[in-house]
Each structure stands twice: as C-alpha cells, then as structure tokens.
Amino acid sequence: MQIHELKITKKSNKKRVGRGGKKGTYSGRGMKGQKSRSGASQAPTFEGGKTTLIQKTKKLKGFKSLNKKNLAINLNQINFKFEDGNKINNKSLKEKGLIRKENQGVKILSEGKIDKKVIIENLLISKKAQEKIEKAGGKVEITERKKTKKEIEEKK
C-alpha cells in the first residue's frame, strides 16, 4: 500500500454546546443538576450516592505480598520434632508438619535450646543458630548461601 492509496477520514469536530445555534436554551444538557454544569464528571462506579457494587462485594482479609518471605523455624521446634542424627531439609520439615510445601523458603532462627546432633542441609540459617547447632555437635551443610553486605564489601 502506498501513501496516496490511504483513505483519509475527516475527524468530526468536538461538539461545542452553548455557543448559539440549534441546540436551544440548555444546549442538550437538560435542566439543572450536576451533569448540566461545565466540567462536571462522575466516577464510572458512582451510583447516585448508594453503596456501590464494588463496596458491596466481600472484601478479603489481608493481602498477598509479591515479595515472599522465608518461613521462620526456631531451634526449639527442631529440638522437639527431630531425633539425634536426623537430616533436616525441606522434605523432612514437610514430613514433620513444620512447613506446607517442599519448595517453601525456610530460615532457621536461634530461639530456644537445642541438645540434639542434627544435620541441616540447604536451608537458610542465622549465625547464632548455626553456632548453637555446632555447639550441640550437629553440622550445617550449605551448598548455596546469600552473601551479606559485609561479605560483598570485604571482597571489593
């Protein structure tokens, strides 16, 4: 298609009411009221002051964050649910009922005491919790770990 073959349609002029002509006294706006005034507009959801459909619909409590946080599990929960020598990973946490999904993010925090020798595999863990586990005779095996800001700055 060439430029000269394009059909050019004429844009219709915007209606300019209230400037004389054949629209009469009220210029097609009816008599008094909010809609007859210049610059008047209402929200599309406005229903004359009554409770709108959107407000009537049941509201859900809370919200779901897009930035998913890790589920916190304390040492006292691990001490209560696991035995000596158990390996703790997402699969074993799900079996014991501490988390709902196997792929859920988990971080172990240091609240409580631990006196069992457990092996932590591929879970986020706080430094204090790691110290407590190693003091009790357990191990922490981490293949990947997010580096702290201090560690990143020290490398530079």
- Give the number of other CB atoms < 10 A from CB of residue 132: 20
pTM of the entire predicted model? 0.51
How far apart are alpha carbons 18 and 25 in whole angstroms? 8
Task: Return the domain boundaries, the chain.
Answer: 71-143
Q: Which amino acid, one-letter code, is at 61? A: K
- 134, two tokens: 């190693």
CATH of domain 71-143: 3.100.10.10
Amino acid at position 21, single letter: G
Task: Note the pLDDT tens digit of each residue in 49-90.
Answer: 888 888 887 776 777 777 777 889 999 999 999 989 889 989
Using one digit for the tens of pLDDT, what is the confidence trace for 123-152? 888 999 999 999 999 989 876 656 677 777
Q: Distance between CA atoms of 35 and 42, rounded to whole angstroms?
A: 9
Question: What is the spatial distance between Cα 33 and Cα 23, in angstroms, rounded to a whole number?
Answer: 18
